[in-house]
Amino acid sequence: MTIRSRISGIGKYVPERVLTNFDLEKLVNTSDTWIQERTGVRERHIAADDETASSMGILAAQQALAQAEVSPDDLDLIIAATTSPDGMFPAIASRIQDGLGANHAGAFDINAACVGFLSALATASQFIATGTYQRILVIGSEVLSRIIDWNDRNTCVLFGDGAGAVVLEAAEQGGPLSFVLHSDGSGASSLYAHGPCSAPNGLEADGYFISMDGRRIFKFAVQAMESAIREAIDKAGLDLSDVDLMIPHQANLRIIKATAKALGLPPERAMINVDRYGNTSSASIPMALREAWEQDRLHEGDRLAMVTFGGGLVWGAMIFEWSAVGPVRPKAAPVHATTASGS
């Protein structure tokens, strides 16, 4: 029998501080109108000084575990996706494992930029499909505000902080129907951030800020997300008309709308929350997934098209069959009619 996997719990956390476009007008030469016309972003959340990718990941994970009614001790593995870890090592997944008290779980990180969560979800589903593990926590968590040049209006308006998490469990139905992951490293210079190992003796004098060729990335993103969804749809043996909801990476409203238009999907079949959070990289899709559930946009048997792109350059998509969140309840025993004598 084929082992499927289902999302039994979804969690989300965003920092309390909100940075609006009007706040940014005081920092750089920009305006609310300029930002909204080009990105669709109105505001974004910024981590407090004592918040990190791991601390936010713990809070999102706790919400997901509570919804799934799963104890941390029941987790077999924790996979965390991030481009803004607490440090070079250990993995934030290990810090999250300790913070949750998941005493029996292995833990590791994935860095695939904004494709990180989808890569982690694909990885987790393979562990379950082979029967290696039964229950895996998958997290995307980012503090991108720490690697933003707040003097660069082309990037500082785009990004925000946040975390999302899901509990993936072995099941008889639900889960990935197909996924595709791609990379073209020749485009790395279009979207990147240096780090402490980029050059010896701290020669990166300009810091470790996100650098992006906006025009090239926009063109790449629309083409990449359209092709990835078409490929994943074909791989699943479905048609685009079978997609009930597209959950795209929340990078830019114009990119999302252009992708939907290229696919022939009506606007109402795309989940959008970029206006309130900006681009949260690997946290983007799980945060949008949680909000789609909160808005009652996820129904039993729905086919979801998760799609994303990021620095690498990388891109990918997953067709996911939705099954209701929460614990699996045992089926009630059938009630048999009895005769008048009770025999």
279 catalytic? Reply is yes
Q: Which of these, 259, 280, 162, lies nearest to 210 by C-alpha position?
A: 280
Amino acid, single-letter form, for residue 270 = A
194 catalytic? Reply is no
What pLDDT score does 342 carry?
44
What pLDDT score does 329 carry?
57
201's CB contacts (< 8 A; 6+ apart) are: none
What pLDDT score does 327 carry?
86
Assess contact for 105 and 137: CB atoms under 8 A.
yes
Q: Give the chain's radius of gyration (CA, Å).
A: 21
What pLDDT score does 331 carry?
53
Of 21, 45, 249, 252, the active-site residue reads 249
249 catalytic? Reply is yes
Q: Please provide the size of the chain in residues.
A: 343
pLDDT digits (tens, 9 = 90+) for 312-323: 999 999 999 999
Assess contact for 325 and 319: CB atoms under 8 A.
no
pLDDT digits (tens, 9 = 90+) for 36-68: 999 999 999 999 999 999 999 999 999 999 999
What pLDDT score does 338 carry?
44
Local structure of 296: helix, strand or coil: coil
Model-level pTM greater than 0.85? yes
Max Cα-Cα span within the chain: 91
Of 45, 114, 156, 252, the active-site residue reads 114
C-alpha 307/C-alpha 80 separation (Å) is 18
What pLDDT score does 341 carry?
41
What domains can be seen in the chain, in order of their start residue?
Answer: 4-173 (3.40.47.10), 177-321 (3.40.47.10)
- Cα–chain-centroid distance for residue 280? 8
What pLDDT score does 343 carry?
35
Per-residue confidence in pLDDT tens, the chain, 343 aa: 689 999 999 999 999 999 999 999 999 999 999 999 999 999 999 999 999 999 999 999 999 999 999 999 999 999 999 999 999 999 999 999 999 999 999 999 999 999 999 999 999 999 999 999 999 999 999 999 999 999 999 999 999 999 999 999 999 999 999 999 999 999 999 999 998 888 776 555 567 899 999 999 999 999 999 999 999 999 999 999 999 999 999 999 999 999 999 999 999 999 999 999 999 999 999 999 999 999 999 999 999 999 999 999 999 999 999 998 998 755 545 555 444 444 3
C-alpha 140/C-alpha 150 separation (Å) is 23
Amino acid, single-letter form, for residue 84 = S
What pLDDT score does 273 carry?
98
